[in-house]
Amino acid sequence: MRIVRTVAELRALLDDERRAGRTVGLVPTMGYFHEGHASLMRRARDACDVVVVSLFVNPTQFDDPADLVAYPRDEARDASVAAVAGVAYLFAPEPAEIYPPGFATSVTVARVTEPMEGAQRGPGHFRGVATVVAKLFNIVQPHAAFFGQKDAQQALVVRRMARDLDFRLRVEVCPTVREPDGLAMSSRNVRLDADARRRAVALARGLEAARSRVLDGATNAVDVVATGRDAMRALDVEPEYFEVVSADTLEPVDPLAGELLVAVAARVGGVRLIDNVLVDAGAR
């Protein structure tokens, strides 16, 4: 595996790969890899000839400067994980390589960015996500890009952007990888102390309670949300939001029908976590 620092070097390497007829897969990340990241890399390796993983803690998507500073980083460890997963190129640029002096362009995706994470973190969050992902798509020009379902709203934003701007690639969203007790794997989990780690499973418990309520026949979102919130409060966790919305548009659904996204965010021990599940209301 080769670690690449500059856009020019990566483009030259990938031009050679494409001239040789090889397909390219991209896994965008902010590093501090766990099994969820590794599963995306393996999926990309199965689907494409050459895998590029970007390792870049994107400053423009953080609404809280302290959160940016505290975000865990360990490039040497990440490089080892990526190499084992069969990654060909680890793209680990400095911020100035992605945002050079005078950088003044951003990408804004309307509507699907507004609820949930957009409401909590402000319009700059998804503007930062869309901008950096658009840059990565242009730099790498992959045949396919791979994202995790845990960041469901982010994946929907990226899909909408790729469609609207005619990026010539396939966006693939892969299942959330969980710990044995149900906690969604996240780079932020390392910041949980023992008590917070015990209570953090409240997000998965709330989602499962809400999912079960939908599959049991509930058609009112208010009732489903109340069930999920109650399950979380049993572990002394209060969500920032708990939503049951259309999986395609993130808009409210009344009565509940079709494919739904049940999504939650909460701070546990000072660490902000998100999670979600998809539920097919037609399966009840």
Catalytic residues: 37
Distances (CA, A) of 192 to 36, 210, 272: 18, 25, 10
Residue in this structure with the two tokens 């620092």, named with its chain if needed = 5
Residue in this structure with the two tokens 């483009």, named with its chain if needed = 11
Residues 6+ apart with CB under 8 A from 168: 141
Residue 11 is labelled as binding a ligand: no
- DSSP H or E segment with residue 31: none
CA angle 124, 126, 128 (to 5 degrees): 65
Residue 187 is labelled as binding a ligand: yes
> 262 pairs with which residues across the strands?
244, 277
Residue 188 is labelled as binding a ligand: yes
50-55 and 24-29: which strand pairing?
A: parallel
Q: SS3 helix, strand, coil % of the chain, rounded to 5?
A: 45, 20, 35
Query: What is the rounded CA–CA span in Å between residue 23 and residue 17?
Result: 8
Residue 34 is labelled as binding a ligand: yes
Q: For residue 83, what are its two tokens?
A: 């190499």
In 6-113, the DSSP E strands lie at 24-29, 50-55, 89-91
Residues 6+ apart with CB under 8 A from 86: 41, 42, 45, 51
Residue 30 is labelled as binding a ligand: yes
Residue 185 is labelled as binding a ligand: yes
CB 237 within 8 A of CB 203: yes
Residue 148 is labelled as binding a ligand: yes
Residue 61 is labelled as binding a ligand: yes
Residue 37 is labelled as binding a ligand: yes
What residues form the annotated binding site for beta-alanine?
61
Query: Binding site: which residues?
Result: 30-37, 61, 148-151, 154, 177, 185-188
Question: Which residue positions form the known binding site for ATP?
Answer: 30-37, 148-151, 177, 185-188
Binding annotation for (R)-pantoate: 61, 154
